[in-house]
């Protein structure tokens, strides 16, 4: 006979165990879009201790919506090996263009990342970073509903050797760091250079080129990389997001 309190105890006990494991990480990723999840997959696959923090209830970022809620995505040839590794089926459309179901793509990516050992925490917002000796070395977190309701509830903190900002167009982690600490970033101007308008070809290329360390201890990927280093946007073609996440993982692994 099922007991309600046992069910509750099972959830509370195992979640707190999971949360406790995430208090001291090799890498903390912020944002569960395609670049963040791809980075998490490769980092976890390499045996690193990785936690991913997403402010929304669902994961997937902008990829689940495809283009204007047509839930298909486009990827280019260069990204196909990553999709094949993840088990995502694609269909050739024209030379150099392939399509995939957005829901299947995200489902496969989430499954493979979690199965590799990535621990995902949804409904958690990043309020701030831990900043010591002119380096980002952790996150300050709270429940997203606390932030949404404007409640005065103190956050908790976790430590990480590296942080990856994969929060998309807003580059939320880098933005907070610049606003609160007035730091000079590793960009041409020393500040956030801002996302440019649509150019799918350049946007895809820039998303990969701009994936790098933005400040000691803090990397950027995906559209956050273009927002920080001044790249174009690209719309519902997502090969660059997978390639960016893969590159972010490689660079961080070199740093570790």
pLDDT recorded at residue 19: 98
Does an H or E element contain 83, and which?
Answer: helix 80-86
Angle 180-183-189 (CA atoms, 0-180°, nearest 5)?
A: 125
Say which residues have a Cβ less than 8 Å from residue 6's Cβ, sequence separation at least 6. none
**Per residue in 116-162, pLDDT tens?**
999 999 999 999 999 999 999 999 999 999 999 999 999 999 999 99
pTM (2 d.p.): 0.97
**Domains of the chain by residue range:** 21-255
**Per residue in 51-105, pLDDT tens?**
999 999 999 999 999 999 999 999 999 999 999 999 999 999 999 999 999 999 9
**Per residue in 2-13, pLDDT tens?**
999 999 999 999
pLDDT recorded at residue 106: 96
Task: Tell me, rounded to whole angstroms, the distance of Cα 66 from its chain centroid.
Answer: 18
Share of the chain above pLDDT 70, in %: 100
CATH code linked to domain 21-255: 3.50.50.60
Query: How much is the mean pLDDT over the chain?
Result: 97
pLDDT recorded at residue 80: 98
Average pLDDT over residues 33-57: 98
Strand partners, 130: 138
Average pLDDT over residues 174-199: 97
pLDDT recorded at residue 43: 98
Average pLDDT over residues 38-52: 98
pLDDT range class, residue 239, cuts 50, 70, 90: very high
pLDDT range class, residue 236, cuts 50, 70, 90: very high
CB–CB of 32/109 below 8 Å? Answer: no
CB–CB of 34/63 below 8 Å? Answer: yes
Say which residues have a Cβ less than 8 Å from residue 54's Cβ, sequence separation at least 6. 31, 32, 120, 121, 122, 123, 124
């Amino acid at each position: 006979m099922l007991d309600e309190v046992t069910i509750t105890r099972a959830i509370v006990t195992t979640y707190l165990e999971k949360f406790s494991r995430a208090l001291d990480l090799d890498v903390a990723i912020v944002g569960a879009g395609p670049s963040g999840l791809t980075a998490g997959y490769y980092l976890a696959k390499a045996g690193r201790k990785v936690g991913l923090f997403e402010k929304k209830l669902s994961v997937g970022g902008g990829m689940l919506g495809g283009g204007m809620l047509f839930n298909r995505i486009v990827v280019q040839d260069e990204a196909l090996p990553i999709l094949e590794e993840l088990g995502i089926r694609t269909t050739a459309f024209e030379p150099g263009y392939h399509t995939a179901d957005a829901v299947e793509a995200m489902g496969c990516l989430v499954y493979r990342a979690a199965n590799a050992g990535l621990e995902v925490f949804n409904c958690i917002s990043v309020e701030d970073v831990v900043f010591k000796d002119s380096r980002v070395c952790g996150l300050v977190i709270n429940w997203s509903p606390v932030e949404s309701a404007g409640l005065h509830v103190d956050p908790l903190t976790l430590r990480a050797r590296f942080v990856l900002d994969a929060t998309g167009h807003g580059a939320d982690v880098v933005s907070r760091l610049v606003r609160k600490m007035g730091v000079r970033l590793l960009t041409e101007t020393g500040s956030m250079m801002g996302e440019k308008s649509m150019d799918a070809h350049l946007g895809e290329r820039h998303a990969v080129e701009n994936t790098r360390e933005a400040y000691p201890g803090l990397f950027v990927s995906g559209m956050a990389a273009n927002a920080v280093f001044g790249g174009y946007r690209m719309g519902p073609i997502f090969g660059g997001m997978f390639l960016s996440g893969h590159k972010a993982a490689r660079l961080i692994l070199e740093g570790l």
